[in-house]
A and B are shown apart, each in its own frame.
Chain A
Amino acid sequence: MAQTLRVPGSHDLRRVIGDGEAIPDGEVEGLEERDLLELYRSMVLLRTYDERSVVFHRQGRIGTYAIFWNHEAMQAGSVYALEREDWIFPSYRESAIGLLRGMPVSTVLSWWRGHPAGWWNPLDYNVASICVPIGTHVPHAAGLAWGKKLRGESSCAVAYFGDGATSEGSFHEGANFAGVMRAPLILFCNNNQWAISTPLSAQTAAETLADKAVGYGIPGVRVDGCDVLAVFEATRDAVARARAGEGPTFIEAVSYRTAPHATADDPRAYIDLERVEEEKRRECLGRYEAYLRRAGVLSDELAESTRAEAAEALRSGIAAAEEEPPADVGLVFEHAYAAPPASFAAELAELRELLGE
């Protein structure tokens, strides 16, 4: 069962993982050893993806990249509470979340390389396209969840967004729509407390982001976003509500952005570096590893082989992404319309001639 922990200067957060000292470990009913290890594998894969991507960016092998270090618990924990039929609506902070649905590493890396191989078919994974503008995918998730309900299907949807997104009109409209339609939707806010350089205190006057749920007539729960088991449990509860026809739930997962917003950002200009170091010591993967070791579930060998497996996935992933043949310029004109207008063919022909093709 989840316990609550008083966090100084904050409200109660649901938490399962203890600190190995004064705070005892809890456990989540229904999770067996293989589930715990599956969650671990997911987190290691995401962590490895993220760390390697920063290196790939520095090597000039991918473009600007939005780092999600210390967000792995929120992503892995919540996705593990879903069924394959449920839909995921990621923001760019969850660019690699499709890996948890079997999407190839090379696909996500191709997206960050600006290569068309990175633009996946959402129907293959029930993972919507990455939403780049802030919060504007929340109404999509609300619409899909509502539409599935209208069709009598039992699937639900999760929209991921950050603390900054809660200031956007589209977040409000999507949340309100979902509340009114009692759509089977989980509004998952990864509150990492920073929107580039803007701290949460400059984003809202609300005491907590979960408080916003009251205005939509839906429950708002707060969970420690660095505690993968607490995230899983909160999401599982929200999914159960959704499937029972009780409508949406707002989950505020509180963590801390210990990395730059993206590879193009230098947070030294605005962030308290001591706080960052402190938060890094509490980062989500290390905490979960310690929990698993205390529970006697994770050995050195298993940790090592899990990391090696993830590293290999990234090695082969970047190789596959780099082996993609160059994109044909004809793709400039493809897919905007089901039946392209007549002008496209002439424009492409002219372009090819100019390019000497």
Chain B
Amino acid sequence: MSELTLVEAINDAFHTELARDDSVLVMGEDVGRAGGVFRATAGLRDKFGAERCVDTPLAEAGILGAAVGLCMAGWRPVCEMQYDAFSYPCLDQLITHVGRYRWRTRGAMDFPLVVRMPYGGGVRAPELHDDSPEAYYAHTPGVKVAIPSTPADAKGLLAAAIRDPDPVIVLEPKLHYRTMRGDVPAGEHVVALGRARVARDGDDATIVAYGSMVPVAEAAAELLAEEAAVEVLDIRTLKPLDEEALLESVGKTGRAVIVQEAPRTAGYGAELAAILAEKAMLDLRAPVIRVTGYDVPYPYWQIEDAYMPSVERVVAAVRKTLEF
């Protein structure tokens, strides 16, 4: 166990997994010589060679398309998309092929690839360096989606994604790459996909969150500590979702606030709310409330904080459910 930043934990996962399995290969823009623009892949080229930590041409669809072919040749490619919104060109490959190819071969071929990218705002960056695109990915059949919120999970979920026989998309909260530190198990560390985590216990209300919204939810719960015992459920894997954990928590508390940084309409929070409407109706003591980004292009960074779901907005939403 050692204390690492979130991005160091990702780097640790890479070093461990590339050493464990020589069919794992890392590819993307600037991942080799530079070690990634966030240094997530630092040291891999020196240790494992330029053929297993590959600087690719600047072509997101080409990267993911080539990764499909690499899978067919027996590799387990891990593709880095440099930023959330730069991943959009790769959606063509993702939707038309990555999520379908196993099905197309009637299960005869595995496509054990990983697409990982930094996501989310709050980093005072230019346009299209701030998006939360998880709904596009989660909506695509045939792929899995994980979003860690802690350094330990960043390592464990990436390791699970690399070992999984199916394509997995991992979105990493870039806001916390260097600002969050935490204990990370040394050596092999795998956090199974499809298991949520109770980040904070409570009986009065549940805040459901993932990724960079988990610390916001925890801060809100802490602020409310004298009024109510608020549980924070970290979803961790959006697909497959740990539905049991969601229903168990809300079954216990009867109140749910869902937090997502992405725009509101058709976001992942809507899916969580719909599940609660379908399966937890009789447990609910108040309407489910969503706290989300707005249905606008991610704003100019001087006023980006106004867009981000804040601790205050989450606290207000929880109070609303408590007072219903």
Contact = CB atoms under 8 A, between A and B. Distances in A.
Given A170-B62, A173-B61, A173-B62, A143 B105 contact: no
A339 B107 CA distance: 10
Given A136-B65, A143-B67, A121 B57 contact: no
Contacts of B59: 173, 176-177
B72 A177 contact: no
Contacts of B61: 139, 169-170, 173
Interface in B83-116: 89, 92-93, 96-97, 99, 101-110
B73 interface: yes
A129 B69 contact: no
A336 B69 contact: no
A177 B97 contact: no
A157 B69 CA distance: 10
B66 A174 contact: yes
A142 B240 contact: no
B70 A136 contact: no
A122 interface: yes
Contact of A128 (B62, B66, B72, B164): B72
A170 B99 CA distance: 17
A176 B25 CA distance: 20
Interface string A328-357: 000000111111011100000000000000
Nearest to B54: A181
B26 to A, nearest CB: 13
Given A119-B104, A177-B56, A180-B57, A138 B65 contact: yes
Interface string B177-212: 000000000000000001000000000000000000
Contacts of B67: 143
Contacts of B104: 119, 129
A320 to B, nearest CB: 18
A245 interface: no
A335 B103 contact: yes
A147 interface: yes
Contacts of B89: 169
A144 B96 CA distance: 18
B165 interface: yes
A120 B109 CA distance: 11
Nearest to A131: B97
A342 B141 CA distance: 15
B297 interface: no
A133 interface: yes
Given A119-B106, A148-B73, 15 more contacts: A136-B92, A140-B68, A143-B66, A143-B71, A146-B66, A169-B89, A170-B62, A173-B61, A174-B65, A177-B59, A334-B107, A335-B107, A336-B103, A336-B141, A342-B243
Contacts of A139: 61-62, 64-66, 68-69, 93
B69 A141 contact: yes
A145 interface: yes
B127 interface: no
A116 interface: yes
B97 A147 contact: no
Given A122-B72, A336-B142, A142 B65 contact: yes
A140 B97 CA distance: 10
A269 interface: no
Contacts of A148: 73
Interface of B: 25, 51, 56-57, 59, 61-62, 64-75, 89, 92-93, 96-97, 99, 101-110, 141-142, 144, 164-166, 194, 239-240, 243
Interface string A127-168: 011000100111111111111101100000100000000000
A123 interface: yes
Contact of A177 (B66, B96, B99): B66
A338 B165 contact: yes
Contacts of A157: 69
A72 to B, nearest CB: 25
Contact of B142 (A120, A121, A337, A343): A337
Contact of A143 (B68, B103, B141, B165): B68
Interface in A292-340: 334-339
B7 to A, nearest CB: 27
Given A139-B61, A338-B165, A129 B101 contact: yes
A144 B51 CA distance: 14
Contact of A140 (B69, B103, B243): B69
A253 B67 CA distance: 28
12 contacts: A87-B72, A123-B108, A133-B96, A139-B93, A140-B66, A142-B69, A143-B67, A147-B69, A150-B73, A334-B103, A335-B106, A338-B166
Given A173-B59, A173-B61, A335-B102, A144 B69 contact: yes
A146 B166 contact: no
Nearest to B75: A147
Across the A-B interface, the 9 shortest Cβ-Cβ residue pairs: A143-B69, A139-B65, A147-B73, A173-B62, A143-B66, A144-B69, A121-B108, A335-B107, A338-B165
A185 to B, nearest CB: 10
A143 B65 contact: yes
A12 B126 CA distance: 50
Contacts of A144: 69-70, 72-73
Interface in A227-279: none
Nearest to B25: A150
Contact of A170 (B51, B71, B92, B240): B92
Interface in A174-225: 174, 176-177, 180
Given A143-B66, A177-B57, A334 B108 contact: no
Nearest to B56: A177
A174 B53 CA distance: 19
A300 B67 CA distance: 50
A183 to B, nearest CB: 9
- Most chain A CB neighbours (cut-off 10 Å) among B51, B103, B142: B103
A334 B144 CA distance: 16
Nearest to A133: B96
Contacts of B73: 143-144, 146-148, 150-151
